[in-house]
């Protein structure tokens, strides 16, 4: 009986989290432990297959919401929770299993060794890769119901974040540093917040263009997209909007509908944009574009300066580090005296400087892997991966070890094999 209404528990737990919007005080340790137990115990005992998406939901809301949280916010703490489930004896013979690709182990080993060698500490990238590997036994690859659960979880997460933003953002607004009297609402970093919301838009778009749901559900997905897009517009995260736009173009191409309906859909998007513009949702976004004379808020300057420093005498070990990199902390310190920001604002450049050509190659391999495993739905999978690529062009979600993006990659892989005959040979 409980299994039938399993997710009602999580609806209630999410409502409790959202109530903290009105609180300025972190819950006590005891209350937080009880809450974590309420989240995890059903996953250990009743629905182990739900662990990937439930953790993704609560981790993302915890890290990208505006309030204090009952849930942990460190990636390694989630690794412990996932590992605990494995220790308690997780095994489900009904699951379709595929082997963990060897390059993920190589990736984990190499970045960990490089970071320890340069800074004597393990950084978040290692913990996120480890978390992705630990989640592997819980992934029911090729199972349509499991894929639907993952997709719905990502959509729900994005919708919750967007709705919370639209309802409570004024309490957390800060004056935009560019001037003009604009306020930019959002989590600690509005850009990462915007990209987290954008994942929900992409997942909803994936469900709309497929035939898994009836017209009513697709209209509901469309409504959630409207909410999330309104949030992105107000948040003025240009990178997230561009990423959503690129993925949406691919989804329109892959949609199995007549061309006239595609044109109609495109016209509806244009009408929605015009309507939101009239309501003032794009005012901050337009201001940021019109007053940006440094290329992506100075990003191009950062990219050029970092690359120049990496290949110059500022690099302490130029020959070795070109192959293996400088580690996360030393990489961020490159040209620090010439830059206001220590970050790269580009994962591809970050991987080159922090983990060398080895790290960059594995990162590209990681992005390409789900596409390479897809057959009839390559474009659909590409829409998800393109979103990750576009976010990585203006931010550092992967090198920073933001776990939500790694789970989104697992979603792409699940999508890739959902219409593919599972054969041992292609996963070895």
pLDDT tens for 49-103 read: 888 889 888 888 888 776 567 888 889 999 999 998 888 876 666 676 788 999 9
pLDDT tier at 350 (50, 70, 90 boundaries)?
A: very high
218 pLDDT higher than 90: no
Neighbouring residues of 183: CB distance < 8 A, sequence distance ≥ 6: 173, 174, 175, 176, 284
**SS3 of residue 141 by DSSP:** coil
| 8-state DSSP, 3 | T
Q: Quote the pLDDT of residue 151.
A: 94
> What integer pLDDT is reported at residue 341 of this predicted model?
62
pLDDT tens figures, 288-334: 656 655 554 578 888 888 888 888 766 666 677 788 988 998 888 88
What pLDDT was estimated at residue 412?
A: 96
Q: What is the pLDDT of residue 402?
A: 92
**Tell me, what's the pLDDT at 140?**
86
Percent over 70 (pLDDT), the chain: 77
Domain boundaries, the chain: 1-94
Q: What is the spatial distance between Cα 280 and Cα 273, in angstroms, rounded to a whole number? A: 11
**Residue 181: is its pLDDT beyond 60?**
no
Q: Is pLDDT above 80 for 267? A: no
Can you tell me which residue has the tokens 């009839």? 376
Q: Are 178 and 291 in contact (CB under 8 A)?
A: yes
Beta-sheet strands, E only, within 148-299: 174-175, 183-184
Note the pLDDT of residue 293: 52
Judge whether residue 428 has pLDDT over 50.
Answer: no
Residue with more model confidence, 315 or 231: 231
pLDDT band at 15 (very low <50, low <70, confident <90, very high): confident
Q: What are the two backbone dihedrals, phi and then psi, of residue 402, each rounded to the nearest 5 degrees?
A: -80, 105
Mean pLDDT of the chain: 81
The SS3 call for residue 139 is coil
**Poorest-pLDDT segment among 213-222, 276-285, 295-304:** 276-285
pLDDT higher than 60, residue 117:
yes
pLDDT of 425 reads 33
Q: Give the Cα-Cα-Cα angle 351, 141, 11 (nearest 5 degrees).
A: 90
Phi-psi region at 180: left, alpha or beta (left = phi > 0; alpha = psi -120 to 50): left
- DSSP E strands, 233-293: none
**Average pLDDT for 146-159:** 92
User: Which residue did the predictor score with more confidence, 274 or 45?
Assistant: 45
Percent of all residues in the chain with a pLDDT value above 90, rounded to a whole number: 35
pLDDT band at 234 (very low <50, low <70, confident <90, very high): confident
């Amino acid at each position: 009986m409980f299994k039938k209404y399993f997710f009602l528990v999580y609806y209630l737990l999410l409502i409790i989290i959202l109530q903290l919007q009105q609180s300025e005080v972190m819950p006590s340790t005891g209350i937080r432990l009880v809450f974590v137990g309420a989240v995890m115990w059903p996953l250990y005992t009743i629905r182990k297959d739900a662990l990937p998406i439930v953790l993704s939901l609560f981790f993302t809301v915890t890290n990208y919401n505006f309030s204090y949280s009952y849930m942990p916010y460190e990636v390694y703490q989630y690794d412990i929770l996932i590992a605990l489930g494995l220790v308690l004896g997780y095994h489900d013979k009904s699951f379709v299993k595929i082997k963990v690709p060897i390059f993920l182990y190589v990736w984990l080993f190499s970045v960990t060794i490089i970071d320890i060698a340069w800074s004597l500490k393990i950084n978040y990238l290692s913990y996120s890769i480890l978390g992705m590997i630990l989640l592997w036994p819980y992934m029911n690859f090729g199972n349509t119901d499991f894929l639907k659960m993952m997709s719905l979880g990502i959509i729900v997460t994005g919708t919750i974040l967007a709705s919370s933003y639209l309802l409570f953002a004024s309490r957390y607004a800060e004056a935009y540093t560019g001037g003009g009297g604009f306020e930019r609402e959002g989590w600690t970093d509005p850009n990462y917040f915007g990209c987290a919301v954008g994942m929900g838009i992409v997942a909803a778009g994936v469900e709309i263009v497929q035939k898994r749901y009836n017209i009513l559900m697709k209209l509901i997905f469309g409504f959630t997209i409207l909410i999330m897009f309104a949030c992105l517009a107000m948040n003025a995260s240009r990178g997230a909007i561009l990423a959503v736009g690129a993925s949406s173009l691919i989804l329109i191409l892959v949609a199995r509908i007549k061309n006239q309906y595609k044109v109609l859909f495109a016209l509806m998007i244009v009408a929605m944009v015009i309507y939101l513009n009239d309501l003032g949702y794009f005012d901050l976004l337009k201001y940021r574009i019109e007053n940006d004379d440094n290329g992506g808020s100075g990003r191009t300057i950062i990219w050029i300066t970092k690359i120049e420093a990496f290949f110059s005498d500022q690099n302490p070990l130029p020959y070795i580090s070109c192959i293996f990199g400088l580690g996360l902390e030393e990489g961020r310190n490159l040209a620090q005296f010439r830059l206001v920001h220590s970050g790269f604002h580009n994962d591809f450049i970050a991987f080159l400087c922090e983990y060398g050509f080895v790290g960059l190659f594995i990162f590209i391999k990681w992005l390409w892997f789900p596409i390479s495993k897809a057959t009839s739905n390559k474009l659909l999978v590409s829409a998800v991966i393109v979103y990750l690529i576009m976010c990585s062009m203006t931010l550092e979600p992967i090198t920073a070890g933001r776990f939500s993006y790694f789970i989104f990659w697992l979603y792409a892989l699940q999508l890739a094999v959902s219409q593919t005959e599972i054969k041992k040979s292609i996963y070895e």
